[in-house]
Amino acid sequence: MPSLDSVRTTVATMVENAVYPNGTSSPSVINVPVTVMEGFPIRTDLDITVLAGNGFVSVFETNKERVVTTFQRIFQPITQTPATLTATVSGKTVTIGGTVSVPQAVMVVVNDTGYGYQVLSNDTLNSIASKTAALIPGATANNNVITVSSAYDLQANIATPYSAGEELSRVDREFMISCWTNNPTDRATLGAAIDVYMKMNYRVTLSDNFVGQVFYSHQNQIDSLEKSEIYRMDLFYIIQYPTTFIESFTTITDPFANLEVVGTIQ
């Protein structure tokens, strides 16, 4: 689930993308190096960086938070491991093809009864066919082809793992993005680039693939350090993000509710 730390890291990445629109190997929007950091800067580090003519941006969460949970808890698919095996039905035969990898399982449904075989890392296409056939009454295997002579209804599928998650709650948390430069022009350019990027990318994918929302709040310009040649701008955004619960599952390969499974699918 996204923690406060991971959300801060996501915001910092967004800031870096705004400051370096062509990547960090290209110049920043103010044509000098810009340090982007999580947390609030140490004054000594800040002074050294800014007085050298470079920019500094910090990303820091404030203590302003509000619970905004308004929906039911519903599992949503997140990731699914693609199958590398195939099981092709033709008449009374099932041909096992593709590439062997784990975890995967073969499910052959014969006359509404399912027979599943968990693939092992040392299996081959031929051994998968042979071991699966051994589970099915009256079935035989020739190389990678399974024949079920008694089948009047024959189906075959490959099971793979997938993950799904549900939102337990959702909160609004205020983040402060502070821009520090040695002149007001660079401060304005840096702040504008970040503000435009954050407003354009108002939906952001978080660490668990759930979506967060970005809302602009307000901004301040601070010139109290002008004598030290440090000009500061604070940009405030509300980041709405969920607390989630992630669970692992296996894809459904037998569509019948009343079934018998011989073997193990994990």
Q: How many Cα atoms sit within 13 Å of 192 on the Cβ side?
A: 8
Chain-centre distance of CA 9, in angstroms?
14
Count CB-CB contacts under 10 A for residue 67.
9
Helical residues (DSSP H) of the chain, grouped into ranges:
4-19, 43-51, 125-135, 184-200
- Kindly report, residue by residue over 144-198, the tens digit of the pLDDT: 999 999 889 999 999 888 877 787 888 999 999 999 999 999 999 999 999 999 9
pLDDT at 258: 40
pLDDT at 163: 79
d(CA 190, CA 184): 10
- Kindly report, residue by residue over 56-78, the tens digit of the pLDDT: 999 999 999 998 887 777 777 77
- Virtual torsion, Cα 184, 58, 9, 28, nearest 10 deg: 40
Q: Do residues 123 and 136 lie in contact, with contact meaning Cβ atoms separated by under 8 Å? A: no
Percent of the chain surpassing pLDDT 90: 61
Q: Which sequence spans correspond to the domains of the chain?
A: 4-72+165-248, 82-159
Q: Which residues pair with 172 in a beta bridge?
A: 66, 240
Q: 151 in helix, strand or coil? A: coil
Q: What is the pTM of this model?
A: 0.66
Homologous superfamily in CATH for domain 4-72+165-248: Phage tail protein-like (3.30.2000.10)
Count CB-CB contacts under 10 A for residue 177.
25
Chain-centre distance of CA 266, in angstroms?
23
Q: What are phi and psi of 195, to 5 degrees?
A: -65, -45
Between β-strands 55-67 and 34-38, what pairing exists: parallel, antiparallel or unpaired?
parallel
Between β-strands 145-148 and 93-98, what pairing exists: parallel, antiparallel or unpaired?
antiparallel
Q: What are phi and psi of 28, to 5 degrees?
A: -75, 175
Average pLDDT in the 209-214 region?
85
Chain-centre distance of CA 30, in angstroms?
32
Average pLDDT in the 219-228 region?
76
Q: Does 36 score more than 80 pLDDT? A: yes
